[in-house]
Structure 1
Amino acid sequence: MMQEVLSGYELVFIIDLVLSLAAGFIIGTERESRGKDAGISTHSLVITGAMLFTFLSMRVDPSSQSRIAAQVVTGIGFLGAGLILKEGSTVRNLTTAASIWFAGAVGMAFGFGYHIIGIIATIVSAVIPRMAHYSRKRPGSTNDKD
């Protein structure tokens, strides 16, 4: 009975789902540790949603797999744009918006079945914001503290 329920696509979907949730947790934890609004829940939903759209686009219309995936990129870009705030000469949440966009790419990697690439990208996404930044103040400008 269980073998009939978890045959083919369902088992692959469960693996993709677990990887997506783990990636969302890892990336989201990094963002929450820096006090950002887009944390574990947001990143988990973006990655899992991107994975699901990509996963379904491969099964529903195999001859045009990139059609739905392309819309995922646009939609997540729109979501990220809503996070960016300009306050005077300072731009805030740019890194968080980029993190959301990158999270969508991680989800798409899982949805297309590129699990190792998705795992590596997750690690990279958690490490990049922790890298030392070179900052040189220009006269009349302020640093972006994202």
Structure 2
Amino acid sequence: MQRDPNLVRLSHDHQSALVLAKRARELATVEDPKRRARWAEIQTRFADELEPHFQLEERGLLPALRGVGQNALVERTLSEHAELRALILTETPDAPARFGDALNAHIRFEERTLFETAQQVLEPAVLAELGVLHEAAARPACSTTARQGSVQGAS
């Protein structure tokens, strides 16, 4: 099934997340000093890219699915988000591989099950509302320096 245009942003986020999962799994073969630095980079990317993605799903898609009785899918998604949040903070040697495997499985679940179900059970108006929410989240916030520049230019 083709992805509903209102869910495309979430699907596109998954592409970079799959790359992140692969990089995390590859850390098993990297020597310790480099492994720590690369794990720190993955942790930063999680905070910058995946955490906002999770929050967007948790604010929009999951409440919409709960509203139509898809509680089991919502609970599984929330559980996997919690697991990934815990794994990314773990500093054990096997944490990157466990994180990479869990992230890969989570993305596959969302693409094959969660999003497919959403497209089948959510009304078009609800999907459109999600699209608006996703679009608003994708817009860059007005930076302080840009605002200062426009204020200074106006004086």
TM-score scaled by structure 1?
A: 0.35
Considering Cα pairs closer than 8 Å and 6+ residues apart, tell me whether 1 or 2 has the greater RCO: 2
Tell me which protein shows more strand as a share of its residues.
1
**Structure with the higher fraction of residues in helix conformation:** 2
